Amino acid sequence: MIRSMSIGRRLTLLLAGVAALLSLLSWSMVSGLARQAAARTQDNVLAASASTIAETLRSEQGEVRLELPYSAFSMLGAISEDRVFYRVTAGERLLTGYSDLPAPEPDQANSRVTFGNGTYRGAEVRMVSVRRVVLAGDRPVSVIVTVAQTLDGVAAISGQISRFAAGLSLAFFVLAVGLSEIAVRTSLRPLNSFAQSVSRRGPSDLRPLRPGAPAELVPLRGALNRLMERLAQSIRRSEDFIAEAAHRVRTPLATVRAQAEIALRSTSDAEDRHRLRQIIRAVDESSRSAGQLLDHATVAFRAEHLARDPVDLAELVNQTTEALTPTAEMKDIELKATTVSVTVHGDAVLLYSALRNVLDNAIKYSPEDTTVRIDISEAGAEARISISDEGPGFGAGPAEELKERFRRGGNTEGVVGSGLGLTIAADVLAAHGGRLDLGAGQKGEGACVTLVLPTS
């Protein structure tokens, strides 16, 4: 659970926790100090009060005498409205005061002033005892003056300071949380912009990330760069492998084909010629099917990480038409393109592949001396490229069935590539959110294949 929490929230919570802890700590420290200071003040006054009384101790006619000075209690009254109790004993004898007032146990036998806490008449009291030895006649008598005061004043003062400190700590906490929120946002900004710079990249952009990340992100950047480097290498290697394999296979095929053509030139034997033509056709078929299988794989790969670049369909049509003009010319087929500029978003390479496959097909099935028309139109949110020929068409039956037939029967038809070519085109269009429409030509003759693409 905590692992999936955002760093920002985690940091904010953590800092808030720290701030809360510090606030609590400072509050308890201030409260403690206030209590201590108040208690010490009370102790001092109590001690002064008891000492003032002890000062008046004297011996008269063998008796210990004393009088309570007014100031002894007025000083206690000056610091708080606490209740005051007192007791003066000479040895075991009570001289005056509250006979049942407990006296604090002196922690050292001969310490002069002893403090202590206790309960008297239902209230917590702070007590102080001052010991003084008075010579009564000829014997020394230990006189203990005990003054006690309730703790309400101390509690009031420390409570007041504690409340003030609590308010201050709370304000500190709120401020700290606000500041930490800002701090977190500020310090996470590089991370966010880093993440954005990674996610903004196109699917095939494997260039290393630019330097300039904060020190903490350098390892991540390094790791990402290494990963992309490995990925790029792996892609390069597999591309190289495919290229090498294709090269190895196709070059001998090319040799065979060339030799077969040469042989065809040099023989007039009808049977030999027939065989040679079969060889050449077989080479062409295997070459075409290998090419289209590779194309199909390319399409499948690229469709998964579809680029969304602006593509001008007019340019695409011109490029394709130009590339296929020599092929068409061989059959005296005219390619007639009517273009308007329409921009769609997609993978130019895939769209080129789709259009080329469809056009290639149209040329292949067109009779000599005919025209293949390529028209671009835009209707609603759709752009269409229609390729219509004057060939035999797809025959009777619904278009969808035809498409299915092409999909399914590509390899069983004996005309390798034609079916797969349309399948490639249909896959490309589906990946772009479009479709491939198959139908009859305008006058019910020939075939009309339409590439439909969304414009938005």
Contact call for residue 72 and other proteins (CB under 8 A):
yes
Contact call for residue 246 and other proteins (CB under 8 A):
yes
Contact call for residue 87 and other proteins (CB under 8 A):
no
Length of the chain equals 456
Contact call for residue 48 and other proteins (CB under 8 A):
no
Contact call for residue 264 and other proteins (CB under 8 A):
yes
Contact call for residue 144 and other proteins (CB under 8 A):
no
Listed ranges 40-48, 162-170, 261-269, 381-389: which one lies at the site for other proteins (CB under 8 A): 261-269
Q: Smallest distance from the beta carbon of 98 to other proteins, in angstroms?
A: 8
With CB under 8 A as the contact rule, the residue among 261, 312, 413, 437 that binds other proteins is 261
- Quote the distance between the C-alpha of residue 157 and its chain's center: 51
Q: Is 94 left (phi over 0), alpha (psi -120 to 50) or beta?
A: beta
CA–CA separation, 140 and 157 (whole Å): 42
Q: Is 397 left (phi over 0), alpha (psi -120 to 50) or beta?
A: left
Instruction: Return the number of the residue (131 or 356) whose C-beta is nearest other proteins.
Output: 356
**52, 76 Cβ separation under 8 angstroms:** no
Q: Smallest distance from the beta carbon of 61 to other proteins, in angstroms?
A: 14
For 64, the enclosing helix (H) or strand (E) is strand 63-65
Q: Smallest distance from the beta carbon of 317 to other proteins, in angstroms?
A: 15
With CB under 8 A as the contact rule, the residue among 3, 139, 247, 443 that binds other proteins is 247
Instruction: Return the number of the residue (54 or 66) whose C-beta is nearest other proteins.
Output: 66
Q: Smallest distance from the beta carbon of 331 to other proteins, in angstroms?
A: 8
For 253, the enclosing helix (H) or strand (E) is helix 218-266
Q: Smallest distance from the beta carbon of 157 to other proteins, in angstroms?
A: 15
* Per rule CB under 8 A, count of chain residues that contact other proteins: 77
CA–CA separation, 15 and 432 (whole Å): 48
Burial 259-291 (b: 16+ CB within 10 A, else e): ebeeebeeeeeeeeeeebeebbeebeeebbebe
Listed ranges 34-42, 117-125, 167-175, 445-453: which one lies at the site for other proteins (CB under 8 A): 117-125
CA nearest to 292, candidates 402, 422, 413: 422
Strands 447-454 and 435-440: antiparallel
Listed ranges 116-124, 157-165, 168-176, 438-446: which one lies at the site for other proteins (CB under 8 A): 116-124
Site for other proteins in 275-304 (CB under 8 A): 277, 280-281, 283-284, 287, 290-292, 294-295, 298
